[in-house]
Amino acid sequence: MSAAEDTRPGFGLTAAALAVIAFLQLPVIVVVLAAFSTTSYLTIPPQGLTLAWFGKVLSDPTYLSAIRMSLFLACGSTAISLVLGVAAAYALFHKAVPGAGAITSFLMAPLILPAVVIGVALLQYYSLTGLRGSLVGLLLAHVVITVPYVVRAALASLSGLDVAVEEAARVLGATGFEAFRLVTLPLIRPGLVAGALFAFITSLDNVPVTIFLIRADQTTLPVLIFSSVEMGVDPSVAAVSTLLILATGIVLLIAERRAGFHRFV
């Protein structure tokens, strides 16, 4: 028997893994099936098949406004988090600031604290500073909860980087910024893609922080879904959830094909 055959998982382990995967995907399957039901209420299995609920979502001004707001916050916070997170991770990796360990722990704090606590704290702070209800304040709140993902991914990528490569670029005449842009940045790109994806999904799916800070005349898609579920669920909620699942899957597939970010998640 070869070494490869010795390390191959047995039938029992494979069956157990498939059963766990199927169990975890069951809620997703239920939501997707409910989106195609012809009834005006959620039912499984669906009573008939229709795409009418998808058409309702894509033609409803409330849903479209919520989608635009969610995409703006997700894209804006991800872009800002990438700039701030990469700069912070680079400085922390090279110990360019005193107390690097304490600063790293501080930046990781939003991953540990409950999101509701962060939302309440920001609400009180914004009430004192006048940022309450402002779009800028909401965007900054999303940056707070997304920066840790970029910092962690960037630090993981930098830890596997040979610093001699960047030093060689400087010896050959490149400035510090040129060495970072032309040598270091391409090498850590898969990790940054992973961090950006986590940041984007976290912002796009956030409810606990957003619901405390958003104005009454504004809404994001997760907050709208949350409110709709409280008032009564119809298949349009399942339809928009299905669109989110599909969009997330496509983005992850494209990112994996182009950057191979699975090594950092």
Neighbouring residues of 106: CB distance < 8 A, sequence distance ≥ 6? none
91-118 pLDDT, tens digit each: 888 776 777 778 888 888 888 888 888 8
Q: Would the pLDDT of 2 be above 60?
A: no
Taking the model in full, what pTM does it have?
0.81
Please state, rounded to an integer, the average pLDDT across all residues of the chain.
81
Residue 186: asked if its preceding bond is cis (omega within 30°), the reply is: no
Q: Is 257 helix (H, G, I), strand (E, B) or coil?
A: helix
230-263 pLDDT, tens digit each: 666 677 888 888 888 888 778 777 777 766 655 5
> Domains in the chain and their CATH numbers?
10-50 (no CATH), 61-264 (1.10.3720.10)
Neighbouring residues of 153: CB distance < 8 A, sequence distance ≥ 6? 85, 191, 192, 194, 195, 198, 264
